[in-house]
Structure 1
């Protein structure tokens, strides 16, 4: 959530808690997620609430969190990702011909999303730039460029420059104070 990076994904012919558990385990290992470091917020689907998945989360020290029933916008970050995916050029009008076609398309999308897509919610840096900390220098450089441009041609500016301050705290439910911060 903090960086918007897609850290794990899989395409299967069926949805199951076994597949979900295998994906979260592989992702936690690859991303070196320590026990009690991660909260996994998801919908109330059977795959996410199945026994295999819940046992795996407990083994990994991942705290499950679920959307409120019948609240369609309770998980806005993945919903925004899915909208970006569905409206990406090249998204098929109909079903994929094979599961391998679907996997290839998703792999290409995830690569574009993580490495090339400048996300408006994180000050127009890519998810990978934010995830690995490069966003700090990028945003400082942008701020410098904007300030210099404003000094050279103040007549072209109304008000201040764009805010390039890094966003250090992200809240899923601001009213509850549950933060995702840099450490």
Structure 2
């Protein structure tokens, strides 16, 4: 993957690795548009993104991620307290990210 446009390249990689992505293309332009609409809805509302602590972009945008991540933190703390032998380190960091970048080095260079 080049770094020309990391955002679109990351989305395209996710898109083409979906199990329902058609191997032999779309029959019509309308089929392609409908598939893309469905994909974008899934990616924004159902897909849990690892870089934002496994919440959806919609949950972040609407501010719901804070309560979700706090609940996850409580669940992990309770599990560690009940079964400390299962934990060799601390719990996963469930703190909300302030910002996310696909290519932080290149973005930092642009700012300088």
State whether TM-score is above 0.5. Answer: yes
RMSD: 1.8
Segments of structure 2 that go 5 or more residues without pairing to the other structure are none
- Counterparts in 2 of 1:129 and 1:95: CA distance versus 1, 3 Å: same
TM-score (norm 1): 0.55
Identify the residue that residue 26 of structure 2 maps to in structure 1: 96
Give, in whole Å, the separation in 1 of the partners of 2:27 and 2:2.
Answer: 30
Aligned length: 108
Look at both structures and tell me which one has the larger radius of gyration over its CA atoms: 1
Instruction: Report which of the two has the higher share of strand.
Output: 1
Note the residue ranges of structure 1 that are not aligned, 5 or more in a row. Answer: 1-70, 179-183
TM-score normalised by L of structure 2? 0.86
Separation of aligned partners in 2, 1:77 and 1:151: 40
Q: Are 2:49 and 2:55, in contact at CA under 8 Å, matched by a contact in 1?
A: yes
In terms of fraction of residues, the more helix-rich structure is: 2
Counterpart CA distance in 2 for 1:157 and 1:126 is 27
